[in-house]
Structure 1
Amino acid sequence: MTKYLISFRDEAVDYRDEDVADIAEASSAMTREAIAAGVFVFGGGIKGGLEDAWTVDEAGVVTDGPYPESKEHLGGFIIVDVDTLEDALKWAGKCAAACRATMQVRELLSGAEAR
């Protein structure tokens, strides 16, 4: 099994207030489906906006917000553990439909690869 990060950019989401409840329910239903299928590892939306973010550099210096030149910011994600890339792409399609946003799929390094 391989873990994949399925994520969307905050900028990709443009919900009308009246759509939020339907999108939240669809997202929750998709998550319940992933749990039932045994592929769900972890996931969630990112709380707040850029004003609620912090940046920590390699020296440990903390500043408010992301670097000003950043144009894309993570809006939410799910990690799935599946047999193939094709399986991950199918789950990304379900996520995209539920969240009404384009998803990005990236394979996560295993513990040995990350070293």
Structure 2
Amino acid sequence: MTHYLLSVHNDDTPVYPTPEHAERAFAATGRVNDAMREAGVFVFAGGLAASTTARVVRARDGALERTDGPYLESKEHIGGFWVLDVADEAEALAWAERATVACEGAVEVRPFQGVVGD
């Protein structure tokens, strides 16, 4: 099995235009989470707070520097993610397809180089 990160990308505009829309998307995402658990591939998932809450710590010229805001100055950011333990990339992509339909956001799929603690 291989660990994959499925990350949801969106921008700072409200993802769901109404509370009812958000409720439907959260319910659909919950059903995908349940299916992942039932399939035995779910490791961990979480939604992230707004990018305005991000803080970055950098090492520059031997000194540590803290800045407000996301690491990248970009229109899009990671809004949430799943960590899955699947057989291969094809299986990770199949889960990403279900996840992107449920949460209505683009989902990036990337394998981990290795997992500490395995």
Structure 1 ranges of 4+ moved more than 4 A: none
Report the counterpart of residue 84 of structure 2 in structure 1.
Answer: 80
Q: Identity of counterpart residues, as a percentage? A: 38
Shift of 1:79: 0.8
Q: Would the aligned equivalents of 2:10 and 2:106 in 1 still touch at CA under 8 Å?
A: no
Q: Secondary structure at the match of 1:69?
A: coil
User: Is it true that 1:71 corresponds to 2:75 in the alignment?
Assistant: yes
Report the counterpart of residue 45 of structure 2 in structure 1.
Answer: 43
Unmatched segments (≥5 aa) in structure 1: none
Which of residues 77, 98, 113 in structure 2 aligns to 1:109? 113
Report the counterpart of residue 2 of structure 1 in structure 2.
Answer: 2
The TM-score normalised by the length of structure 1 is 0.85
Cα distance in 2, alignment partners of residues 72 and 36 from structure 1: 31
Flag the structure with higher helix content.
Answer: 1
Report the counterpart of residue 98 of structure 1 in structure 2.
Answer: 102
Shift of 1:83: 0.5
Unmatched segments (≥5 aa) in structure 2: none
Q: Quick one: structure 1 residues 60 and 35, their matched pair in 2 at CA, closer, same or farther if it must change by over 3 Å?
A: farther
Q: Quick one: structure 1 residues 53 and 87, their matched pair in 2 at CA, closer, same or farther if it must change by over 3 Å?
A: same
Number of equivalences:
111
Cα distance in 1, alignment partners of residues 72 and 84 from structure 2: 31
The TM-score normalised by the length of structure 2 is 0.83
Cα distance in 1, alignment partners of residues 52 and 41 from structure 2: 33
Q: Quick one: structure 1 residues 55 and 111, their matched pair in 2 at CA, closer, same or farther if it must change by over 3 Å?
A: same
Flag the structure with higher strand content.
Answer: 2
